Amino acid sequence: MEQAPRIPERYTLIEEVGQGGMAVVYRAQDETLKREVAIKVLHQHLAGEPESRARLEREAQAVAKLRHDNILEIFDYSGLDSASSYIVTEFIDGQTLKQFLNSRQLAFPELAALIVGEVCGALAHAHAAGVIHRDVKPENVMIRKDGLIKLMDFGIAQILDFQRMTVTGQLLGSPAYMAPEIIEGKQLDFRTDVFSVGIMLYLLATGALPFAGKNPHEVLRRITEGKFPDPRTIRHGVDQVLARIITRALARRPDDRYPDVALLGDDLAAYLAEAGLTDARGELRTYFGDPPAYEAALPKRLAAALTDSAATHLAAARRVKALELWNRVLAFDPENPVVTSALRRLEGRRRLRTAAAALGTAALFAGIGAAVVHRVHSHPPRPAPILVVRSAPLLSASDSPIAVGPPDPDAQTRGHGTAPSTPISPATHPTRPRADARLALDREQPTSRGGAATRTFTLGPTPQNVDVYLDGHRQFGYDLDHTTLAVPWKADHVIEFRSPTGCCFVERVEVGPDHPLPSDAIIARRLKWRPALLLITTEPASESARVLVRDLNRQVTPTAGHPGEEIDVPFFPDDDASKEIEIAVDTGEAFTTEKIRVRAGERSRHVVKLRAGAN
């Protein structure tokens, strides 16, 4: 503990509970009001610096304007003339979100939406008072022991000039969570916080940061470039709806983001409501009380709520939305009987409509023939036309799914449902499909010329970020616009699911007249992860050292090798696309361990710096 600061006698210091870059935080007792408080005191070596004292005053003034359950409340401030510079706030008995994430990863993206939704509520209140936080990150989010989320540390907050509606950016804050306009020194507004919230949502949902690098300079460069991996490729549980929300929040141009954080919170609330999670604070209270028990019970709850929501949308003829919700269920339960049964019923109704249309058209042609037969009796009868029933597209081009980066130049437009992906338009609402969207689930129909039958299969790959091939030719990238594949039925064919990122082995399915039809014409496959390939070297070099690579989440025998050898790191079916492993290097004289994160199917190098006598 630093030398006790000079503070009013009404406060009795109990213990030091934390240190930041510029201050020490104490737990204390307010003897006048008989309550515990937290006192944030500037480090002694900073107390004499005007800028540090002004920054603490800025925090006090910003938070004093705010009264919200999810914002740390301020009780007192020393003022600029005090011997010690400090602020007194409510005491939070708990841990930071960063500390929580160091011990466990969120098992479901819905948990990420619950936490970030609470942060959005806090920021919306701050924005309404003209306060931009500018440093939203897990370190500045507290989790109280009862599960209540608290946003804190407004130390670099800016109070908005309502005449100009913007402030000038200064390079303060955490590089990994900075918006491009801060890095470029441009004008800031509320959408600057939207970007930081998007980064935190990405991290909580996938377990990885969208913009990562070997040093802060590389991180800042990637942020200004605006390129990041599609979150669905990082974690297979992230569905298209949440990916759209994240992508809109992380748009490089502020005009392409959510115009305010409240709308981001509304979309997260709608995403959660479809899954039956309408009481965010109650859910988080239960979750943080016993995370393993909550996560064990959640899949059954999600499946029931999502299938009920899908049934409601289906009854209102919103078939695309129903399919969207079924995909969320299949992401964690690929064989869910309720979803497969619903698809079967939907298929039956589609067949009836197709048959009725065919009969009606045939009757029409028959009527026309009877009416005009006396006029064409001198001509030989022509053959009846072949009726072509084509599947309607799921969505129009303006509603196409997200695509991080430029459209795929290899995307083809042959046959049913094949169109290149286009980036999501910020003007398009990320969670509501167009009213005229129609679901194509016809299973069998004649083709136009030869009369040869085709069969249309509903596809359900996991992970969903795959390219679909037929007989070696790419048809489309799987997404909500492209979930079915029409296959000519005169010969046998091979359908392939290929991962564009190389994370998984190719999954092949043979179909055709000589093969049994898949149940309900649904082809659902979970692709097997490729192992990560890791080349480990040591510094200083030690070719005789023994290397052990251990999976931190499994009781399996570690993989052994030597420096300079490429070691396979196996990935199991229920793993995510990336995971943390432990590397141990034994030189005989020292034993060094490090933890790193590797990605399925990816080659990487890592240097272990040996520490003499480490154990």
CA 339/CA 522 separation, integer angstroms:
11
Written as one letter, the residue type at 176 is: A
pLDDT at 294: 96
Which of 67-71, 317-321, 427-431, 560-564 shows the lowest mean pLDDT across its residues?
Answer: 427-431
The answer to whether 488 and 447 have CB atoms below 8 angstroms apart is yes
CATH code where residue 161 lies? 1.10.510.10
CA 326/CA 460 separation, integer angstroms:
10
pLDDT > 70 in the chain, percent = 77
3-state secondary structure 340-377: HHHHHHHHHHHHHHHHHHHHHHHHHHHHHHHHHCCCCC
Domain co-membership, 76 together with 102: no
Domain co-membership, 86 together with 114: no
pLDDT, greater one: 398 or 201: 201
Domain encompassing residue 368: 340-375+385-526
Give the range with max mean pLDDT: 115-124, 237-246, 526-535, 584-593. Answer: 115-124
Domain co-membership, 104 together with 62: no
Q: Is pLDDT of 308 > 70? A: yes
Domain co-membership, 522 together with 548: no
CA 59/CA 23 separation, integer angstroms:
12
Average pLDDT of the chain? Answer: 78
Q: Which residue matches tokens 């040996």? A: 610
Domain co-membership, 536 together with 549: yes
Does residue 111 fall inside a structural domain?
Answer: yes
CA 347/CA 198 separation, integer angstroms:
38
Q: 164 in helix, strand or coil? A: coil
Task: Enumerate the β-bridge partners of residue 15.
Answer: 27
Domain co-membership, 282 together with 398: no
Tell which of 44, 71, 90 closes a domain: 90
Tell which of 90, 109, 127 closes a domain: 90
CA 567/CA 575 separation, integer angstroms:
18
Does residue 149 fall inside a structural domain?
Answer: yes
Which of 94-108, 363-377, 496-510 shows the lowest mean pLDDT across its residues?
Answer: 363-377
Does residue 443 fall inside a structural domain?
Answer: yes
Beta-carbon contacts of residue 19 (< 8 Å; ≥ 6 apart): 25
Of 30, 69, 81, 135, catalytic: 135
From residue 354, give the alpha-carbon distance in Å to each of 348, 446, 447.
10, 11, 14
Q: Is pLDDT of 377 > 70? A: no
* pLDDT digits 0-9 by tens, 518-533: 766 888 888 899 999 9
The answer to whether 257 and 194 have CB atoms below 8 angstroms apart is yes
Domain co-membership, 419 together with 546: no
pLDDT at 351: 58
CA 611/CA 615 separation, integer angstroms:
9
User: Is residue 102 within a helix (H) or strand (E), and if so which, with residue range?
Assistant: helix 97-103
The answer to whether 87 and 154 have CB atoms below 8 angstroms apart is no
CB atoms within 10 A of CB 521: 18
Domain co-membership, 522 together with 600: no
CA 281/CA 114 separation, integer angstroms:
8
Tell which of 25, 57, 90 closes a domain: 90
From residue 549, give the alpha-carbon distance in Å to each of 18, 502, 570.
34, 22, 10
Helices (H), 213-333: 216-225, 231-234, 240-249, 261-274, 280-289, 291-315, 319-332
DSSP string, 68-131: -TTBPPEEEE--TTSSS-EEEEE---EEEHHHHHHH---SSHHHHHHHHHHHHHHHHHHHHTTE
| Dihedral over Cα of 531, 532, 535, 540: its sign | negative
Domain co-membership, 134 together with 275: yes
What backbone torsions phi and psi does residue 38 show, to the nearest 5 degrees? -115, 135
* pLDDT digits 0-9 by tens, 333-375: 878 888 888 877 766 665 555 555 555 544 444 443 433 333 3
Q: Is pLDDT of 277 > 90? A: yes
Q: Taking residues 300-324, report their average pLDDT.
A: 90
CB atoms within 10 A of CB 128: 14
CB burial of residue 363 (10 Å; 0-12, 13-18, 19+): exposed
Does residue 20 fall inside a structural domain?
Answer: yes
User: What does DSSP say about strands 603-609 and 532-539: parallel, antiparallel, or unpaired?
Assistant: parallel
Tokens representing residue 265 in the block? 């919170």
Q: 49 in helix, strand or coil? A: coil
For the chain, give the number of residues. Answer: 615
What backbone torsions phi and psi does residue 364 show, to the nearest 5 degrees? -60, -45
pLDDT, greater one: 300 or 373: 300
Q: Which residue matches tokens 């093969």? A: 515
Domain co-membership, 371 together with 501: yes
pLDDT at 376: 36
What backbone torsions phi and psi does residue 75 show, to the nearest 5 degrees? -110, -35
The answer to whether 415 and 456 have CB atoms below 8 angstroms apart is no
Tokens representing residue 473 in the block? 């030719």
Beta-carbon contacts of residue 380 (< 8 Å; ≥ 6 apart): none
Does residue 300 fall inside a structural domain?
Answer: no
CATH code where residue 48 lies? 3.30.200.20
CB atoms within 10 A of CB 511: 21
Sorting pLDDT into bands at 50, 70 and 90, what band is 440?
very low
Does residue 28 fall inside a structural domain?
Answer: yes
The answer to whether 239 and 232 have CB atoms below 8 angstroms apart is yes
CATH code where residue 537 lies? 2.60.40
Domain co-membership, 346 together with 492: yes
User: Is residue 571 within a helix (H) or strand (E), and if so which, with residue range?
Assistant: none
Does residue 479 fall inside a structural domain?
Answer: yes
Does residue 316 fall inside a structural domain?
Answer: no
pLDDT at 265: 96
**CA 274 from centroid of its chain's CA atoms:** 17
161 among known catalytic residues: no
Domain co-membership, 400 together with 489: yes
Give how many domains the chain has, as a whole number: 4
CA 605/CA 564 separation, integer angstroms:
10
